[in-house]
Amino acid sequence: MRRQYTVVLQKGEDGWWVANVPIFHATTQGRTRSTALKRAKSLIQFALHTMRNEGAKPPLEDPSSLAVVRVQAAV
């Protein structure tokens, strides 16, 4: 069975890409966007494999529970 999980990518000030996987409360990074995304996928697969070995069910992501919002703030 295949499931989809949200990965939030953001380019850091140092030029590296940070990939956050909210449902697993996990973060990874890569020098390129592609590398960060590949590492996020590996992180997800590792988490799911670990859960399966422990007899836990994989989490179901509720897309309505995620939002990207831009907020203005005075500098």
Instruction: Give 1-32 pLDDT, tens digit per residue.
Output: 788 999 999 999 999 999 999 999 999 999 99
Split into its structural domains, the chain has a count of 1
Whether 74 is covered by a domain: the verdict is no
Whether 29 is covered by a domain: the verdict is yes
Whether 2 is covered by a domain: the verdict is no
With a pLDDT cut of 70, the percent of the chain lying above it is 100
pTM score, whole prediction: 0.84
CATH of the domain at 35: 3.30.160
Whether 73 is covered by a domain: the verdict is no
Domain that holds residue 38: 8-65
Whether 40 is covered by a domain: the verdict is yes
pLDDT at 19: 98
Average per-residue pLDDT in the chain? 94
Q: What is the SS3 string spanning 3-69?
A: CCCCCEEEECCCCCEEEEEHHHCEEEEECCHHHHHHHHHHHHHHHHHHHHHCCCCCCCCCHHHCCCC
